[in-house]
Amino acid sequence: MNKRVIIIGTGISGLAASLRMRRKGYEVIAFESNDYAGGKITDFQKNGYRWDMGPSLFTLPSYIDELFELFEAAPRKYFNYHLKKNICNYFWEDGTRFSAAASQEVFIKEASALFNEDAKTIKKYLDRSKLKYDLTAPLFLEKSLHRKETYFSLATFKAFVNSYRLHLFHSLNTLNRSVFKSEKLVQIFNRFATYNGSTPYKTPAIMSLIPHLEMGLGTYFPQGGIHEISQSLYRLAQAQGVQFHFNESVEQILHSNQQTTGIITNIGQYPSDIVICNMDVFAAYDKLLPNLKKPIKTLQQERSSSALIFYWGIKKIFPELDLHNILFSQDYEKEFEHIFDKKSISSDPTIYINISSKEEGSDAPQGCENWFVMINAPGNYGQDWETLKKEVRQRIVKKINRILKVNIEEYIEAEEILEPMTIESRTYSHKGSLYGASSNSQFAAFLRHPNFSKQLKNLYFCGGSVHPGGGIPLCLLSAKIVSNLIPVNK
């Protein structure tokens, strides 16, 4: 019998789940409140410029390739990318600049020379980063942490035996300060906490595995921009018979006798054998499952950081900048105190500038660049965002002017702004958080919502707000975990 799966939300995880369920022989219908697929992975154009609105970092492209390979399609015929030789350009107020090479050998040599750090120390740190990734990925990232069978495996045994190497009970900052003498090198490796919306002063040092994703496994740029990731999967899903209902928001998940039975949308009612929810788990319980007992501990977890983003069309080329650029704060700890403790923005925020036109020339007019200028921000807790946007814009402009020795406002000819309040309303992300819950606790991974409902049979969850977390690779893995929990439709 042809059983039906309904997907709620077509973010990257929802798209991946739709493909995996289609491959398993189910009829798949995906519902989306917006008029496009991709969730946070979308783009827009203005005055001849194109910007990716959401994520800007692309690692582990094999997870995308895998979805094409499920249908025996050659990935390169549909989706292309190339490896970056330079990971990121770093800038400090004192004039120091550092280009982080993708090659570990080159990175170690150049970082050792510039920061006066022992090359052996840097190599040992990166080797340990790889070890942590190799030990934990099969357990914490690729399987459900909420199934007993996960803990009876060789991978679990290896992780347990080597748990003393994982630094579970130290903060990332504590570890980095114990390893490096250079404050600037500490700051470079502390910033990896922001990859899951956390603070390096609280998130456990196991997060030091993240550098391996960039330096060991590579940083990539997708042809057509990040937006092409979601669109290529959307086209594949269409070709494989997934049905999409856009501008149709789900209002309730139906259930009877502890079994999911379907959904109600703003247009009608649809029965289903299985429901996979790609919506933020907080909003899912609040809006779609009002009569279900809420997992209070999970939903009360501290939210991850959000973002304040300025999309600028710049009528000038800056050769000193690359695809990824960081202009560091002079007081990194104060910056995170403001975000997580004061729910505000410090007077000197770290600035991230992404310029996709460095790789994709058509993203900006000739002689111009498309700047995606972002700072980490608190979630939406009722702040006066109109005032904050004006104040932060001034701070950002002044910092860019100081570090790059330029009057940047002379070159801004197009502008759009995105703040946490709008992120929350567009994506249903609670408080506008980018990654669901933060990882500011050694128990955060276990407190994330599981990929299945413990109350309703055949209700599953995927996306950045549930296990294993946010970011493109982890969202893709959450869809894979869900798929592995659901049998083939025979």
Residue range 212-250, pLDDT digits in tens? 988 889 999 999 999 999 999 999 999 999 999 999 999
Q: How far, in Å, CA of 447 to CA of 441, rounded?
A: 10
Q: How far, in Å, CA of 3 to CA of 14, rounded?
A: 18
Residue range 264-302, pLDDT digits in tens? 999 999 999 999 999 999 999 999 999 899 988 878 888
**405-430 residues labelled b (16+ CB within 10 A) or e (exposed):** eeebeebbbbeebbbbbebbebbbbb
Predicted local distance difference test score (pLDDT) of residue 169: 61
Give the lowest-confidence range in 125-139, 225-239, 381-395. Answer: 125-139
Chain-centroid distance of CA 19 in Å reads: 20
Bridge partners of 101, per DSSP, are: 86
Do the strands 459-461 and 274-277 form a parallel or antiparallel pair, or are they unpaired? parallel
For residue 73, give both structure tokens: 């399609």
Three-class secondary structure assignment of the chain:
CCCEEEEECCEHHHHHHHHHHHHCCCEEEEECCCCCCECCCCEEEECCEEEECCCCCEECCHHHHHHHHCCCCCHHHCCCEEECCEEEEEECCCCCEEEEECCHHHHHHHHHHHHCCCHHHHHHHHHHHHHHHHHHHHHHHCCCCCCHHHHCCHHHHHHHHCHHHCCCCCEHHHHHHHHCCCHHHHHHHHHHHHHHCCCCCCCEHHHHHHHHHHHHCCEEEECCCCHHHHHHHHHHHHHCCCEEECCCCEEEEEEECCEEEEEEECCCEEECCEEEECCCHHHHHHHHCCCCCCCHHHHCCCECCEEEEEEEEECCCCCCCCCEEEECCCCHHHHHHHHHCCCCCCCCCCEEEECHHHCCHHHCCCCCEEEEEEEEECCCCCCCHHHHHHHHHHHHHHHHHHHHCCCHHHHEEEEEEECHHHHHHHHCCHHHCCCCECCCCCCHHHHCECCECCCCECEEECCCCECCCCCHHHHHHHHHHHHHHCCCCC
Could you check whether the bond before residue 319 is cis, i.e. omega within 30 degrees of 0?
Answer: no
Q: How far, in Å, CA of 57 to CA of 65, rounded?
A: 17
pLDDT at residue 449 tops 90: no
pLDDT at residue 118 tops 60: yes
pLDDT at residue 143 tops 60: no
**20-39 residues labelled b (16+ CB within 10 A) or e (exposed):** bbbebebbbbbbbbbebbbb
Residue range 165-204, pLDDT digits in tens? 555 668 999 999 999 999 999 999 999 999 989 999 999 8
Sign of the Cα pseudo-torsion (335, 338, 344, 347, in order): negative
Quick one: pLDDT band at residue 164, thresholds 50, 70, 90? very low
Residues 6+ apart with CB under 8 A from 302: 340, 437, 438, 440, 441
Whether the CB-CB separation of 355 and 391 falls below 8 Å is answered with: no
Do the strands 219-222 and 81-83 form a parallel or antiparallel pair, or are they unpaired? antiparallel
Quick one: pLDDT band at residue 206, thresholds 50, 70, 90? confident
Given the candidates 3.50.50.60, 3.40.50.300, 3.40.50.720, 3.30.930.10, the CATH classification of the domain at 4-42+55-75+227-298+440-485 is: 3.50.50.60
Q: Percent of the chain, pLDDT > 90?
A: 80
CATH architecture of the domain formed by 108-213: Orthogonal Bundle (1.10)
Question: What global pTM score does this model have?
Answer: 0.93
193, amino acid identity: A
Whether the CB-CB separation of 208 and 125 falls below 8 Å is answered with: yes
Give me the helix-helix angle, 12-23 and 62-69, nearest 10°: 30
Check if 4-42+55-75+227-298+440-485 and 108-213 are the same fold.
no
Residues 6+ apart with CB under 8 A from 329: 335, 346, 348, 349, 350
Three-class secondary structure assignment of 140-163:
HHCCCCCCHHHHCCHHHHHHHHCH
Q: How far, in Å, CA of 468 to CA of 150, rounded?
A: 14
Show me where the domains of the chain are located.
Answer: 4-42+55-75+227-298+440-485, 108-213
